[in-house]
Amino acid sequence: MTTPRTGPALNADERTMLEGWLDYHRQTLAQKCEGLTDAQLRTASVPPSELSLMGLVRHMADVERSWFRRVLVDDGAGPLHYSDADPDGEFHLTEADTWARSHATWQAEIEAARRCAADFALDDLSRGRSRFTDQPFSLRWIYTHMIEEYARHNGHADLIRERIDGVTGD
Domain positions in the chain are 14-165
Which CATH code for domain 14-165?
Answer: 1.20.120.450
pTM: 0.95
| Whether 113 contacts 64, CB under 8 Å | yes
Task: Work out the number of other CB atoms within 10 angstroms of the CB of residue 19.
Answer: 17
48 preceded by a cis bond (ω within 30 of 0):
yes
Q: What is the pLDDT of residues 93-124, one digit of tens each?
A: 999 999 999 999 999 999 999 999 999 999 99
